[in-house]
Chains A and B, each alone.
Chain A
Amino acid sequence: MTEKETVQITDTLEEQFPGAITRDERQGYDGYIVEAAKLVEIAKSLRDDMGYDYLSSVTGVDYLPDDKMEVVYHLYRSAGGPALTLKIQTPRDDSVVPSLVSIYPGADFQEREAWDLLGIRFEGHPDLRRILLWDGFHGHPLRKDWQEPFFEAEGKPFKSRWPQGEIQRVEDTHPFGKNVHYPSEFTPEGWTPEGEAALYSSLGKIEHGNGNNNKGFETDHIVVNLGPQHPSTHGVFRMVVTLDGEEIVGLKPVMGYLHRNHEKIGERNTFLMNMPFTDRLDYLCSMSNNFGYALAVEKLMGVKPPERAEYIRVIMAELTRVVNHIWAIGFLLNDLGAFFTPMLYVINERELILDIFEAVSGSRMMCNYFRFGGVARDIPEDALETIKILVNERLPRKVDELDLYLTGNEIVQTRAIGVGVLTKQQALANSAAGPVLRASGVPYDIRRADPYSIYDRFDFDVAVRYNGDVYDRYLVRLDEIRQSLRILKQAVETIPEGEIQTGKSQYQARVPAGEAYGRVEAPKGELGFYVVSNGKPNPWRYHVRAPSFINLTPLEEMSMGQKIADVVAILGSIDIVLGETDR
């Protein structure tokens, strides 16, 4: 989309909704400020008339000094192009904005998250409960005046570390029990969680003896909890399902068991300190996480990495995609009952790639390799040689073997074809991303739709499949591995010599005030970082648009009417990592 088009859109909107939409004039900011009362109408018009059919991210920012809460929406066109950013401002003490769930169902979990962490109420949300924190939690932690029990100072670095380092262990000063806040009249022992009742009632009416669905049998609806401790959930994750016989008639995911308020930690950290923390989001793909965060901050700083660094970044990101997808396929097969044989075959290849990460970054999984304006160190010559051997010889052979091994397998086909179908419309509406979106027939890949780094230089196809079932999600991943290898082959051939860092990497990055949304096509889908700086050493707001989290929004729709045994495969085909889901 060109600048001209943007102007056109605003002009039309301003005509249609006079006075309700204004340009965000703040220094370093972008997009439009919208009047809350008109939001739903404007969103509807943007979606239906102007092609903004994809709501990527919804989040809030607490502007404490201005006594305002702001909700930020990033909209995209599935046809490609840059974002349209909408914002609503609302007072801090009574933050209410209209919910967009009716226009973009993909806002569901994200609005719940904003309510949970920031205390912004979304009027008209069908099921506005806490999502990451427990019901008894006191306050909304991402509000700027909320302090954690371990609170030491607003921002790092802490004064107590140097020059008079007074060492103490936090757990000695805050022994267990003292490290939680309760509301004043709260007694943990005498408390029954209201959330559970609300959760079960959100599943819809439980019927007794409905009689029709099961061919004349009188059946009751029963509720089954899968997880939180369940091997099929890939971590600590819970699915509450209502069953009619074996059929699923309602499903609610429950998450947050691994929640650590990554974003609050991120706002206490300096900009650079967040880099190793992003490794811990999707811990299988730390290079991609680094990439997204580096892009966001680089946008704010206005720096660009040198050529060689760009190549190294692409090589690392694509190797990560290979690692992630073979891992996801391996685990999907685990979920289908092929217990660990396919998994171990692919782990073998993954190990070889992790060896490269280790040689390059010093760590197999927590790579912490990207810096603002470059990468931490150059890629050793022998590592580059190994990559060449892998991408030219070994990995293509292994992918073909995997293909031969699984794709035609009749058991896999029976379990996967036609199971967990997500239509194109559902996928877009629910803000699904990555392989989940592309398996439903939407050829949306950020590397093509809104290219970043140097992806516009490489020849590759956007993998897309059209049935939207578990099988297609598997096939899309297989296709994507092949496309990644294609990119890698080109990149290792053409990587230039030269610097790997623009300027000197500073431990106190100077980041001018403003906002930026950096997003990459991570292996699991669109990974976005929304960063707001006020010119200080610590980010004012640091938000992660986590694909593992938002891809769960359509889980219920995918599972409806399916057998309970299939929900395990459906979840496996979404490919979530709880480190990222729960943040």
Chain B
Amino acid sequence: MYGIGLIKGLGVTIKHFVETYVDDLRWLGRGRYYNEEALKIRQGTEARGVFTVQYPEEKLSVPEEFRYIPFLVYEENPDGTRKDRCTSCGICSKVCPPQCIWIVRSNDPETGRPIPAPTEFYIDIDICMNCGLCAEYCPFDAIKMDHVYELASYERSSAHIYNKERLSKPASYYAEIRPKNYAREEAARAEKEALKAAKKKKD
């Protein structure tokens, strides 16, 4: 009969419609929105009903690998000073596809050798395509992708070129946003050190 398909289709729409209210009932009293637990379910594989996220009041948590504008990692010395991990080797600026990393390396005035730390480090975040290649190929784990994605500003021409000061974040922050990566890299580093030490002993 003509119209059967239409009615079946409308059945699907009604199912979705009803599910929305069922879901509301389920969270009655606890709140369907602005509720971490509900948000997880709403966005999970068991989700039914409306799956909207009430941004900016609610935010989706980002996975560890999420990547946005890179930052430079520094170690905090016990005496409060900072030590850049970056050795200004230049690999990140060479691998960067849109070429938005500028690094200034300086030489030691006495020896004339390059100093293994950047004097300046700029990233034009308007050009950065968030590809993550810099972080992937940095041999010193010195540049990593950030999780902060709310970067809008009124001053495009001046505020979007990040300098070293603006880019630098402590290693503890890195450990916080990427715990698994951090642990893996630390373990690899420890292993390398141990190997080195063992070799030294043998010599």
Contact = CB atoms under 8 A, between A and B. Distances in A.
Contact of A368 (B11, B99, B132): B132
A165 B3 contact: no
Contacts of B102: 160-162, 165-167
A452 interface: no
A163 B114 contact: yes
Interface string A136-160: 0000000000000000000011101
A355 B129 CA distance: 20
Given A163-B88, A272-B133, A156 B16 contact: no
Interface string A285-297: 0000000000000
Nearest to B88: A163
Given A167-B122, A351-B43, A366 B130 contact: yes
B95 A269 contact: no
A409 B6 contact: yes
Contacts of A345: 16
Interface string A147-188: 000000000111011111111010000000000000000000
A377 interface: yes
B94 A157 contact: yes
A158 B100 CA distance: 10
A348 B47 contact: yes
B91 A507 contact: yes
A157 B64 CA distance: 29
Nearest to A153: B99
Nearest to A273: B97
Given A164-B104, A368-B131, A351 B67 contact: no
A376 interface: yes
A380 B104 CA distance: 37
Contacts of A163: 88, 90, 103-105, 114
B126 to A, nearest CB: 8
Secondary structure type dominating chain B contacts: mixed
Interface string B1-22: 0111110110111001000000
A362 B147 CA distance: 10
Interface string A346-377: 00100110010011111100101000000011
A306 interface: no
A386 interface: yes
B45 A363 contact: no
B123 to A, nearest CB: 9
Nearest to A387: B45
A191 B45 CA distance: 58
B3 A363 contact: no
Given A276-B129, A410-B2, A358 B66 contact: yes
B65 A276 contact: no
Interface string B52-87: 000000000011111100000000000000000000
A270 B132 CA distance: 16
Contacts of B66: 358, 362-363
B51 interface: yes
Contacts of B63: 355, 358-359, 362, 380
B137 A507 contact: yes
Residue from B62, B91, B101, B102 whose CB has the most chain A CB atoms within 10 Å: B102
Contacts of B130: 363, 366
Interface stretch (A60-68, A317-325, A398-406, A512-520): A398-406
B120 interface: yes
A408 B4 contact: yes
A377 B136 CA distance: 10
Interface in A379-417: 380, 386, 389-390, 393-394, 401, 404-413
Given A352-B45, A362-B67, A366-B129, A401 B12 contact: yes
A404 B65 contact: no
Nearest to B15: A401
B143 interface: no
A504 to B, nearest CB: 10
A372 to B, nearest CB: 13
Contacts of A407: 5
A394 B122 CA distance: 46
B24 interface: no
A471 interface: no
Contacts of B142: none
A341 B9 CA distance: 11
A358 B9 contact: no
B111 interface: no
A394 B48 CA distance: 11
A530 interface: no
Interface of B: 2-6, 8-9, 11-13, 16, 43, 45, 47, 51, 62-67, 88, 90-91, 93-97, 99, 101-105, 114, 120-122, 124, 129-133, 136-137, 145, 157, 161
Given A366-B130, A410-B6, A507-B91, 11 more contacts: A157-B94, A160-B102, A162-B88, A165-B101, A275-B131, A277-B97, A359-B64, A376-B136, A389-B45, A404-B12, A408-B5
6 contacts: A161-B94, A161-B96, A165-B103, A348-B51, A366-B130, A411-B6
Interface of A: 156-158, 160-167, 169, 269-270, 272-277, 341, 345, 348, 351-352, 355, 358-363, 366, 368, 376-377, 380, 386, 389-390, 393-394, 401, 404-413, 505, 507-508
Closest 4 CB pairs of A and B: A165-B102, A408-B5, A276-B131, A273-B97
